[in-house]
Amino acid sequence: MSVLVGKKAPGFKTDAVINGNQIIENFSLEQYLDKKYVLFFFYPADFTFVCPTELLAFQEKLKDFEERNVAVIGCSVDSAFSHWKWLQTELKEGGIKGVKYPLVADLSKTISENYDVLAGEYTYSENGESVFHGIPKAYRGLFLIDKNGIVRHQIVNDMPLGRSVDEALRTIDALQYFEENGEVCPANWKKGDEALKETQESISDYLSQK
């Protein structure tokens, strides 16, 4: 598994569904450079079981992300037409109607490959035929990208393991606090807690209070 933290987030141009109902071409993360942070997350597939719980949970907290100047973007190996259909389907029927943030189509699986979250790989048979080994879907990868386009945080869960939206918000708070104050955030830090200056004295004082 590649570690992308500290590196430029892989770019792409692809179809996406925005505002819950509009299919557009050439969607790219470049539009957010110097303007917004990006929380870019992968999920295995549309019309599944765990995935709607995550997508709806991100939508429920979308205002919290927007207040932090963060664009939330989802991605799977489905087509934009599949995304669109799922977005039009009522919740009681297994849909995600009401989700408004962009859903990126990765039908070619190249975005998943570049972020190294594809649950398998292509090889060649003895006859020279391309063969896929594994599951042609993405693991539950999540990448926090800063306004300079640099990945600052990543997690990758196996497919059965849903992620914590609150933890994503906490990580964003920690990054933004560091950027604004130059102080680092200790274990379990949350907004409003004391942070640390990068000195031995500061760390010793913090630990002595525990």
Cite the active site residues: 51
Nearest CA-CA partner of 104 in 51, 161, 154, 40: 40
Sign of CA dihedral 8, 10, 16, 20: negative
Structure tokens at 28: 């790219």
Structure tokens at 43: 């999920």
CA 13 and chain centroid, separation: 17
Pairing of strands 118-124, 103-105: unpaired
d(CA 18, CA 16): 6
